[in-house]
Structure formats: structure tokens, C-alpha cells
């Protein structure tokens, strides 16, 4: 015979006709819900035979009702790159509905980032954390396991991890961009990559390489940058001033691609007549630059909401599986066209 599953707060919420957040408030004795609602929740829990798991009981003894995010990025880049505000907005929307707060720390480097997570855990300021900007062989996975801190990773790490992950996969988006350019007739397709130590930077680069290999084309023209506009502009100058310049450039994000459009204008190169350009993230600005940017659409706001829901469920002692997110899609606009006939 199989052992019956332990009732969860999700079951209590269903029977009581309330949200999981209200159940958490009631079972932890927090103010903010009506007494009649609290009693209905307690009655539902009693009728189901609900008891907190050891993890949930330990957490309920001392709850911060806050979650943490530590980012090792220059503050000016956080303001310029629309990904971060959109992701954080999604997180905040879910947290505000549950009476939770976000503790955000922006630090200068990876060592300070690890120290930031240690401080958050040691001071009991948060109940769990997000891991964004995953590194290749990311040491923070082992750190958070050592700290006993609940966590959700944004993408699946390339090292063993017990934490649930948001199943973000950048490869199909980059592959679609390269195939689109190949179908237009391009044979010299360069890549402006993100930093190789970031997992998404290396994943996007490998996807570009594989897509070109599958098309029987060389994957030799690549310049690594830092996801910033200035870095994208400098990388574009390197490519356009080379002896045999590319007819198309696949950028690892929109910020670098939009900067690249400006550099093409400086060099008197018409986009898309002489150079095709694609970005990644499909930020709001992508549709308003000249020419409008072909880009890969993702949904960081949805990612933020989903990641927050998963983390709060984990903190409440529930079993949380990896979270699927919609696949990235290529949005074709006017920045791509066939290469010049003489090329």
C-alpha cells in the first residue's frame, strides 16, 4: 500500500476558499486577515489533519516575511537594461499580494555577492533567495546549500542543484535568429556575445555556434562584450572595421544591438541593406528604434512572478518542482533583410 500524501497549505486554502497567502498568515498567527476567515482556515486545517512539516515549523518560528536578491552588476547597467526592472516588477507584484518584501542588494563583484547572501542568511533578514545571473560552475549553489537557505534559480545550473529552477532556455531563440538570417541568404554571421562566465552568455554563444555548424557555415567571428551599450558599441566597431566584415550580427541582448545600430550609422553602413542585426529580450524600445529591431521575445515579468510564487511555496514547506516558462520566440522586424547582392 502507498502512504497517503501529507495535506499541504494548498489543500487547506482550497477547502477554506482562500489564497495560500491567507493560510500562511492564519497558521503563523499574523495579523491582516479577518477573525472569521482565520477561524475558517484553522477549521479547514483541522478537518484535513494538516500538520506543518519540520521545515515549515522551523521557518514559522522566526519568519522575516521577505526574500532576497543579490546582484553583482554595475548599478548603471541595472538601470539601463530593461530586463532587471521587468523581472523585479514581476517579483514585487507577487510579493505584494502575499504581504512579503524584497531585499535587493547590488554589489560590485562575485565575492561581495556571496558575502551578501551570507549576511542575509546570518541576520535572518530573508526566508529565501533568488539566484539570477547564473555563472558557469556557479559556486553559489553549494553556498546556499551550506547555509540551508531556500532558493529558486533562474535557469537550470550546470552543476548539481537541489533547488527548483525556472526552466529558462535561451537556445531556441538564438537558433531561430541564426536560421532566419541563413534563410535570407547570409553566410557571414557574427556574434556579439555576453560574458562567458555568465551561464546565459555562454549558452547563447554555443547556440549561435551550433546553429551555424548545422547550416554548414563557419562560427569563427565572435566578440565577447559585457551586455552594456558601451560594450556593444565597441564590439560592433571591431567587427565593422575588420578586413572582411560580416553581413549580419546576432547580439546577445537588445542593449548591445541598439548600440550597434548607432555604430553602423557612424560607419555609413545601412541597416538592413548592408548589415542585418538581431537582438535578444525584445525590450519595449526594440520596436521603436530605426529600423525596428528583430529580436527574441522573452517575458522577464512573467519569470519574476513565477519565481516568486515558487520561492514562497518552498518557504512554506511545500515540494516545488522546476517551473516551465513559455519558449522564447523570434520577432522579425525591419533590421534584417537579404545581404547585398555583391556579397
pLDDT digit string (tens) for the chain, length 343 residues: 444 567 887 888 888 887 766 777 777 666 556 788 888 888 888 888 876 654 444 444 457 789 999 999 877 777 778 889 999 999 999 999 888 999 999 999 889 999 999 998 888 889 999 999 999 999 999 999 998 899 999 999 999 999 999 999 999 999 999 999 999 999 999 999 999 999 999 999 999 999 999 999 999 999 999 999 999 999 999 999 988 899 999 999 999 999 999 999 999 999 999 999 999 999 999 999 999 999 999 999 999 999 999 999 998 888 899 999 998 999 999 999 999 987 5
Do the domains 171-297 and 66-169+299-327 match in fold? Answer: yes
| Residue-level pLDDT at 272 | 98
Residue 250 backbone dihedrals phi, psi, to 5 degrees: -100, 115
Give CA separation, 231 vs 68, 200, 296, 307, in Å. Answer: 29, 17, 20, 29
**Nearest C-alpha neighbor of 113 from the set 103, 121, 105:** 105
The fraction of the chain above a pLDDT of 70, given in percent, is 92
Burial class (CB in 10 A: 0-12, 13-18, 19+), 147: middle
Domain 9-51 fold:
434 Repressor (Amino-terminal Domain) (1.10.260)
Give CA separation, 258 vs 10, 51, 120, 298, in Å. Answer: 45, 54, 37, 17
- Upstream peptide bond of 60 is cis (omega within 30 degrees of 0): no
| Residue-level pLDDT at 4 | 53
| Residue-level pLDDT at 132 | 95
Say how many CA atoms lie within 13 Å of 307 toward its Cβ: 33
Is the distance from CB of 170 to CB of 203 less than 8 angstroms? yes
Beta-sheet strands, E only, within the chain: 66-71, 101-106, 128-131, 151-154, 165-167, 189-193, 222-224, 248-251, 276-278, 295-297, 323-324, 329-331
Residue 223 backbone dihedrals phi, psi, to 5 degrees: -125, 125
Beta-carbon count within 10 A of 341 CB: 6
End-to-end CA distance of the chain: 71
* Ranges of H-type helices in 164-320: 171-184, 199-214, 229-240, 254-266, 300-315
Q: Where are the domains of the chain?
A: 9-51, 66-169+299-327, 171-297
Domain 66-169+299-327 fold:
Rossmann fold (3.40.50)
Residue 156 C-alpha cell reads as 537550470
Is the distance from CB of 109 to CB of 170 less than 8 angstroms? no
Say how many CA atoms lie within 13 Å of 153 toward its Cβ: 27
With H, G, I as helix, E, B as strand and everything else as coil, classify residue 341: coil
| Residue-level pLDDT at 2 | 44
Residue 335 C-alpha cell reads as 533590421
Give the pLDDT confidence of 26-67 residue by residue, as tens digits.
Answer: 776 665 567 888 888 888 888 888 766 544 444 444 577 899
Domain 171-297 CATH class label: alpha beta
Amino acid at each position: 500500500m502507498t502512504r497517503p500524501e501529507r495535506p499541504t497549505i494548498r489543500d487547506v486554502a482550497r477547502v477554506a476558499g482562500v489564497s495560500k497567502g491567507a493560510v500562511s498568515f492564519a497558521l503563523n498567527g499574523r495579523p491582516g486577515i479577518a477573525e472569521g476567515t482565520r477561524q475558517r482556515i484553522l477549521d479547514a486545517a483541522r478537518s484535513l489533519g494538516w500538520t506543518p512539516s519540520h521545515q515549515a515549523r522551523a521557518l514559522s518560528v522566526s519568519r522575516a516575511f521577505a526574500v532576497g536578491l543579490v546582484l553583482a552588476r554595475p548599478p548603471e547597467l541595472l538601470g539601463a537594461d530593461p530586463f532587471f526592472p521587468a523581472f523585479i516588477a514581476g517579483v514585487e507584484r507577487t510579493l505584494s499580494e502575499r504581504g512579503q518584501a524584497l531585499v535587493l542588494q547590488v554589489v560590485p563583484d562575485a565575492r561581495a555577492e556571496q558575502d551578501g547572501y551570507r549576511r542575509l542568511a546570518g541576520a535572518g533578514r530573508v526566508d529565501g533567495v533568488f539566484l539570477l545571473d547564473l555563472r558557469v560552475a556557479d559556486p553559489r549553489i553549494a553556498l546556499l546549500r551550506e547555509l540551508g537557505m531556500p532558493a529558486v534559480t533562474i535557469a537550470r545550473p550546470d552543476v548539481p542543484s537541489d533547488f527548483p529552477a525556472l526552466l529558462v532556455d535561451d537556445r531556441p531563440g538564438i537558433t531561430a535568429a541564426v536560421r532566419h538570417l541563413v534563410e535570407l541568404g547570409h553566410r557571414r554571421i557574427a556574434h556579439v556575445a555576453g560574458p562567458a562566465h555568465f551561464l546565459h552568455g555562454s549558452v547563447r554563444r554555443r547556440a549561435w555556434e551550433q546553429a551555424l555548424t548545422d547550416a554548414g557555415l563557419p562560427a569563427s567571428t565572435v566578440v565577447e562584450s559585457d551586455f552594456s551599450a558601451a560594450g556593444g558599441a565597441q564590439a560592433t566597431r571591431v567587427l565593422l572595421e575588420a578586413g572582411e566584415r560580416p553581413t549580419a550580427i546576432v547580439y546577445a541582448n537588445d542593449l548591445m544591438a541598439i548600440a550597434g545600430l548607432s555604430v553602423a550609422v557612424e560607419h555609413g553602413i545601412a541597416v538592413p541593406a548592408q548589415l542585418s542585426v538581431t537582438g535578444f529580450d525584445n525590450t519595449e524600445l526594440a520596436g521603436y528604434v530605426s529600423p525596428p529591431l528583430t529580436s527574441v521575445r522573452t517575458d522577464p515579468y512573467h519569470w519574476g512572478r513565477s519565481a516568486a510564487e515558487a520561492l514562497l511555496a518552498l518557504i512554506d514547506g511545500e515540494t516545488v518542482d522546476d517551473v516551465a516558462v513559455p519558449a522564447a520566440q523570434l520577432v522579425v522586424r525591419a533590421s534584417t533583410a537579404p545581404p547585398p547582392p555583391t556579397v
